[in-house]
Amino acid sequence: MKKVVMGTEAAALAVKLARVQVISAYPITPQTVIVENLSDIIGRGELNAKYMPVESEHSAMASCIGASLAGARAFTASSSQGLVYMHEMLHYAAGARVPVVMVNCNRALAPPWNLYCDHTDSLAQRDTGWGQYYCADAQDVLDAILIAYNVAEQALLPVMINMDAFYLTHTSEPVDVPDQKAVDIFLPSYQPSSKLDVDDPKTFGNVCGADLFTSIKYKRHCDTLSLEKLWDRAAVRFCGYFSRLHPTVEAYQTEDADVCIIGIGTATGAMRLAVDRLREEGLKVGSLRLAMIRPFPRGGFEKATANVGHVIVIDRDVSFGAEGIVAQELKAILFDRHEDVRLTGFVAGVGGNDISVETIVPLVRQAIFGDGTAAEAGSTLWAEVLP
């Protein structure tokens, strides 16, 4: 069934289709529509779930962890300040191996206060052990949440589905809402092998010594790496049911490209349009959307960029004192390749500036030919800096 919905509404529809059992959340702009819709869906009896209107994001994630350990499918959503406030519990959820799925609406961090799109909030959580997926459109949001539960429950690891503030949260698009019966087959109920159970008592999260600690963390690291393959497999399975593919990377015109523009989130659509424009100028450019950032989709990235000599990254985020966070990730991967690949890193669109074709084309020209207005800071070039 086709529906015209905003990204946030698509997220709520997915949570309903996933038959989530415990939803615990604290409101924050621009996530609010998700939790408003969900409390209404539960209130109307359309979803048999407990809605916990908790007093903070820290408690939202804490109660999701508790619910998940009790064997229930759990969900929360947050954004920006809320996400960083629950930082401790993000580490805890991954360590406790609970397959919680959350939606983060990528919004700038204060100060100064700003409600608009920026990826620093979630990229700053990349070491917490969560799988991280960045959506391109509302259909991607809905489908990715369903795939995320499937993957999370196989790996016993939490997954964060990210969507751009306003560009995605508050933009209405036509979305194909899958049939509940088909979703139930793709995503059966959560049946954990281990949970809090008085008939089978176990202790979770005890103190342990360094030797065992190391082994537990090693196992978790291996399992986190496996999320890439699990996602691709689940995405293919999902495509079999619903005829839509959501891979970990999405390449455009990269086969013969010398230069590849890389980014995450909604701006990757404009990157593809910029590729078309630049190809008209005779430049052999392609683009790559990294849908997954944790684990880094190494296989998909290497396949798509095998023949590329120049990588141009547009980060909507920054690690202060270093450079764009996606640029750092790419440099780490490229270092292992033992090939002479050039990387130009831009920071653009932070705090909500639009990353349009008109933004991207001059940046690509600056990266290739050296002339442009982006301001230099260390190894990074910043677009749209006031004079």
Partner 1 sequence: MSEHAGRKRDLFTPGHYGCPGCGATLAMQQTLWALGEDTIVVMPAGCWSTLIGIYPYTCLTVPVISVAFASTAAVAAGVKAGLSIQGNDHTTVLAWAGDGGTFDIGLQALSGAAERNDDILFICYDNEGYMNTGIQRSSATPAGAWTTTTPNSALKGQKKKDIVGIMAAHAIPYAATASIGAPEDLKGKVKKAKDMKGTRFIHLFAPCPTGWRHAPELTVEVARQAVKSRIFPLYEVFDGEIWQLSPMPDKIGVDAYLKHQHRFKKTLDSDYLHFQTRVDEDWQRLLNKCQSGD
Least Å distance, CB 60 to partner 1, is 8
In one-letter notation, the amino acid at residue 9 is E
Q: Identify the residue among 3, 50, 229, 233 touching partner 1 (CB under 8 A).
A: 50
211 binds partner 1 (CB under 8 A): no
Cβ atoms 269, 235 nearer than 8 A = no
207 binds partner 1 (CB under 8 A): yes
Q: What is the C-alpha separation between 11 and 31, in angstroms, rounded?
A: 10
Residue 22 — φ and ψ, nearest 5°?
Answer: -135, 125
DSSP symbol at 226: T
The residue (of 64 and 264) whose beta carbon lies closer to partner 1 is 64
The residue (of 14 and 72) whose beta carbon lies closer to partner 1 is 72
Q: Identify the residue among 45, 112, 201, 387 touching partner 1 (CB under 8 A).
A: 201
197 binds partner 1 (CB under 8 A): yes
Give the closest residue to 93 by CA, choosing from 123, 125, 64.
64
Least Å distance, CB 187 to partner 1, is 17
Least Å distance, CB 202 to partner 1, is 6
218 binds partner 1 (CB under 8 A): no
25 binds partner 1 (CB under 8 A): no
The residue (of 1 and 212) whose beta carbon lies closer to partner 1 is 212
DSSP symbol at 84: H
Least Å distance, CB 195 to partner 1, is 9
The residue (of 100 and 327) whose beta carbon lies closer to partner 1 is 100
22 binds partner 1 (CB under 8 A): yes
74 binds partner 1 (CB under 8 A): yes
Q: What is the C-alpha separation between 219 and 293, in angstroms, rounded?
A: 20
Least Å distance, CB 39 to partner 1, is 13
49 binds partner 1 (CB under 8 A): yes
66 binds partner 1 (CB under 8 A): yes
Least Å distance, CB 50 to partner 1, is 4
Helix spans in 23-137 (H)? 32-43, 57-69, 80-85, 87-95, 120-123
Q: Identify the residue among 29, 36, 54, 384 touching partner 1 (CB under 8 A).
A: 54
1 binds partner 1 (CB under 8 A): no
Q: What is the C-alpha separation between 227 and 245, in angstroms, rounded?
A: 17
β-pairing, 159-164 vs 101-106, is parallel
Residue 134 — φ and ψ, nearest 5°?
Answer: -115, 120
Contacts of 57 (CB under 8 A, 6+ apart): 26, 28, 76, 78, 82, 83, 85, 86
What character string, x for contact with partner 1 (CB under 8 A) and - otherwise, covers 92-121? Answer: x---x-------------------------
Q: What is the C-alpha separation between 290 and 305, in angstroms, rounded?
A: 12
274 binds partner 1 (CB under 8 A): no
Cβ atoms 161, 148 nearer than 8 A = yes
Exposure b/e, 249-285, CB count within 10 A at least 16 = b = bbbbbbeebebbbbbbbbbbbbbbebbeebeeeebbb
Cβ atoms 261, 362 nearer than 8 A = no
Cβ atoms 263, 269 nearer than 8 A = no
DSSP symbol at 253: S
Give the closest residue to 320 by CA, choosing from 159, 133, 124.
124
58 binds partner 1 (CB under 8 A): yes
The residue (of 15 and 261) whose beta carbon lies closer to partner 1 is 15
62 binds partner 1 (CB under 8 A): yes
The residue (of 204 and 218) whose beta carbon lies closer to partner 1 is 204
Region binding partner 1 by CB under 8 A among candidate stretches 126-134, 165-173, 191-199, 337-345: 191-199
Least Å distance, CB 74 to partner 1, is 7
64 binds partner 1 (CB under 8 A): yes
The residue (of 6 and 38) whose beta carbon lies closer to partner 1 is 38
Size of the site for partner 1 (CB under 8 A): 43
Q: Which residues bind partner 1 (CB under 8 A)?
A: 21-22, 24, 48-50, 52-56, 58-60, 62-72, 74, 88-89, 92, 96, 196-198, 201-209, 212
